[in-house]
Amino acid sequence: MSGPAAPLDDFITAVKPLVDAIGGELVPADEAGPDDVVLAWAGADAVAVRLPQLADSLDHILAAMERRLGKPLADLDRKAKQEIVRTLEVRGAFAVRHGVETVASALGVSRFTVYNYLNREKGA
- What does the pLDDT look like over 22-81, one tens digit per residue? 778 999 999 999 989 999 998 999 999 998 776 677 888 898 899 999 999 999 999 999
What pLDDT is stored for residue 58 in this prediction?
86
The DSSP H or E segment spanning 45 is strand 44-50
Backbone angles phi, psi at 23, to 5 degrees: 80, 20
What pLDDT is stored for residue 112 in this prediction?
97
Q: Within 13 A of 124's CA, how many CA atoms are on the CB side? A: 8
Q: Within 13 A of 109's CA, how many CA atoms are on the CB side? A: 23
What pLDDT is stored for residue 26 in this prediction?
95
What pLDDT is stored for residue 24 in this prediction?
86
- Check: CB of residue 5 under 8 Å from CB of residue 28: no
* Cα–Cα distance, 26 to 44 (Å, whole number): 16
What pLDDT is stored for residue 111 in this prediction?
96
This prediction's pTM: 0.60
- Check: CB of residue 48 under 8 Å from CB of residue 37: yes
pLDDT higher than 90, residue 14: yes
What pLDDT is stored for residue 1 in this prediction?
44
